[in-house]
Structure 1
């Protein structure tokens, strides 16, 4: 369940990162409100995931999902430049996140920051 929280948080990070662009430096009210809400909800899920996933793994995966997803959305929907190099490095990011997931030994019992397990 922790990885599901982390994935949801990472996807919401994509939303608030794109929202920052649409808010025009927080000068447009509706995009600014949506961005702030997505940011809060994203960090809520990220924080929940860290109860069971070590912080280094969780943070790397969270930012990887956000960076990769934001780049993909930018290229597919927002007219950003598409290049072989970008696709290669986004693929490396995605494989890195998957590698973290499959090499992670994350349980509530071995997470040092988890107060519930104590």
Structure 2
């Protein structure tokens, strides 16, 4: 379930990143509220993810998915898509896949146990 949460958190990161642009520095009410909700949900999911996935791997994938998604959204909105940008985007995706392949998932600890 951690990997599903991680993908959802990354997608929500794309949403709140785009929301930041549309909120105009948090001066537009509705986009600002939507952005704040997406930020909260994204980090809530990420907090759950790091209970079962190594934090370094989880954070790199979380931010990588957000970066890839935001760049793709920017390209879809008319930003440049030259071969260099696409090359480095591909390198980032390969890195994300590589981190997933070498990750060691850890079991979720019982919520009733206290930290020693």
Fold agreement, TM-score > 0.5:
yes
Secondary structure of the corresponding residue to residue 42 of structure 2: helix
Q: Post-superposition, which runs of at least 4 consecutive aligned residues in structure 1 deviate over 4 A?
A: none
CA distance in 2, matches of 1:13, 1:74: 14
Give, in angstroms, the shift of residue 116 of structure 1.
3.8
Deviations 1:42-73 (A, max 9, x none): 01111111000111111000000001110011
CA distance in 1, matches of 2:102, 2:10: 19
- Structure 1, unpaired ranges of 5+: none
TM-score, reference length from structure 2: 0.91
1:94 is matched with 93
CA distance in 2, matches of 1:36, 1:42: 10
In 2, are the aligned partners of 1:108 and 1:117 still within 8 Å (CA)? no
Give the total of aligned pairs: 113
Note the aligned Cα RMSD (angstroms): 1.5
- Structure 2, unpaired ranges of 5+: none
1:106 is matched with 105
